[in-house]
Chains A and B, each alone.
Chain A
């Protein structure tokens, strides 16, 4: 069974014809070419596939397309065009937060989601904010530092 599903992706209206049980992750990567959203565990454990749905961070490997109808989705491709996204990405680069990079799109989305509700988080709050994202390379410290760096530099952005 397929049907048309309409939603907003990074500020633009899109419409796809697909099975309502198809994962948002697959539609983003395969049908819409948004490969910044990564698949790692495929079962909601790692956060690599995170995007914002109506401003709230979600793992797209757990979201059926039917639950996306009418929603506003922001992926890393959308976020990186914004001032907040640029600030985060520069802070991650300057802070040395990136090793293999596979977890980073999800981490940046998690950082955006955190700063949007709490522009000046403590280290503890940062760790809580990225607690749904796994990184196999960095040991997290430099990621936490970079998010703090972004929050300092981006004063007023969030």
Chain B
């Protein structure tokens, strides 16, 4: 039917890891949305596939003893949006993945697939980056814990080694507690479109709500991979909530991005969006945190 060599259907995580070890080149089929279409379009061919769609143990969200929020990779976008723990700890992640595709795709697509595809436009990526998510990569040799910040190696390329499978995405307690975020997706259409630019900001204010205690910002489609705006983050620490802060975040963000021109938008327009979305997302995140911007 399609041009692929063999499909191995994993029946447990252990089974999946054994298959990954024995067939290091095989592609992993999670929700199916991307790979099935690429197979039919003959964009991928002659490959081996390992399906993990039957592994219910890789679905769901929970809070661990130390307060880390653990998201299993096969959780669908809509399950993330609806999950009470997501609403409680990182509502912005639920809001971000609610902007992917349309209702159908959000019921099929998985957060793990979104990350492992390694594309810069993934709507979950900038928020997970901005929350310092940590990945759990399992293999027969054991478990490797990798900051998500180090996972993207280039466009469509991720640091998933032969034999490894993404089994968990963690957001440490320190990272989500007292922290409020906003994601803005700029796209041509409101539905069924990928981002022209995406920006995710989260802030933790000082106890008196007068200053930035921590600000983190990440962008999608502003570089070959999702990127953090470290320059703006460093400059924002301890800053008062005022117009100068917004300038620092907007202009500072330019230091870490390198967008390109594509048919969707020019490099110049994307640079404009970087500044504008950074400002707007910062304003919204501060508002959610209970702060007000004084001019």
Q: Known: A21-B7, A44-B37. Contact between A64 and B104, CB under 8 A?
A: no
Residue B36 contacts which of A23, A110, A131 (CB distance < 8 angstroms)? A23
> Given the interface contacts A42-B40, A64-B32, does A1 sit within 8 Å of B107 by beta carbon?
no
CB distance from B19 to the nearest CB of A (A): 14
A66 close to B101 (CB less than 8 A)? no
Our pick among B29, B49, B53, B101 for the contact of A132 (Cβ within 8 Å) is: B101
Known: A1-B6, A57-B107, A110-B103. A67 touches B32 (CB 8 A): yes
- Using A20-B9, A21-B1, A45-B192 as known contacts, say yes or no to A132 and B36 having CB atoms under 8 A apart: no
Segment 65-115 of A: residues with Cβ below 8 Å from B: 66-67, 69, 110, 113-114
Within B172-208, the residues touching A (CB, 8 Å) are 190-192
Q: What's the least CB distance linking A37 to chain B, in Å? A: 12
A-B CB contact pairs (8 Å), 26 listed: A1-B6, A20-B51, A21-B49, A23-B36, A42-B37, A43-B37, A44-B101, A44-B104, A44-B105, A47-B104, A57-B104, A58-B108, A59-B104, A61-B36, A62-B104, A64-B32, A64-B36, A66-B9, A129-B103, A131-B102, A131-B103, A132-B102, A132-B104, A132-B191, A132-B192, A133-B102
A59 lies within 8 A of B108 (CB): yes
A134 to chain B, nearest CB (A): 8
Alpha-carbon separation in the docked complex, A128 to B101 (Å): 11
Contact (Cβ within 8 A) B54 A50: no
CB of B253 within 8 A of chain A?
no
Q: Specify which of B29, B41, B54, B192 lies most central, judged by the most chain A CB atoms within 10 Å of its CB.
A: B192
Q: A1 to B51, alpha carbons, bound, how many Å? A: 14
Question: In the complex, what residues of B have CB within 8 A of residue A45's CB?
Answer: 192
Cβ of B41: which chain A residues have Cβ within 8 Å of it? 43
* Given A20-B51, A132-B104, A132-B191: A62 and B32 interface contact (C-beta under 8 Å): yes
Q: Enumerate chain A interface residues (CB-CB to B < 8 A).
A: 1, 19-23, 42-45, 47, 50, 53, 56-59, 61-64, 66-67, 69, 110, 113-114, 128-129, 131-133
Q: Does B31 contact A (CB under 8 A)?
A: yes
Bound complex: CA A61 to CA B107 (Å): 13
B-side interface residues toward A, CB under 8 Å? 1-2, 4, 6-7, 9, 29, 31-33, 36-37, 39-41, 49, 51, 53-54, 76, 78, 101-105, 107-108, 190-192
Task: Decide if B105 touches A59 in the complex (CB within 8 Å).
Answer: yes
| Closest residue on chain A to residue B109 by CB atoms | A62
- For the A-B complex, the count of residue pairs with Cβ-Cβ distances under 8 Å equals 91
Nearest chain A CB to B77 CB, angstrom units: 11
A140 to chain B, nearest CB (A): 12
Q: B108 and A132: CB pair below 8 A?
A: no
B190 partner residues in chain A, CB cutoff 8 A: 131
A57 near B103: Cβ-Cβ < 8 Å: yes
Q: Which residues of A contact B29 (CB under 8 A)?
A: 64
A60's nearest neighbour on chain B, judged by CB, is B104
Residues of B contacting A43 in the complex (Cβ-Cβ under 8 angstroms): 37, 40-41
Q: Is the CB of A62 within 8 A of B2?
A: no
B34: nearest chain-A partner, CB-CB:
A62
Closest to B37 in A: A43
Nearest CB in chain A: distance from B31 CB, A? 7
Query: Which residue of the partner chain A has the closest CB to B79?
Result: A56
Min CB–CB distance B35 → chain A (angstroms): 9
Cβ–Cβ < 8 Å partners of A61 in chain B: 36-37
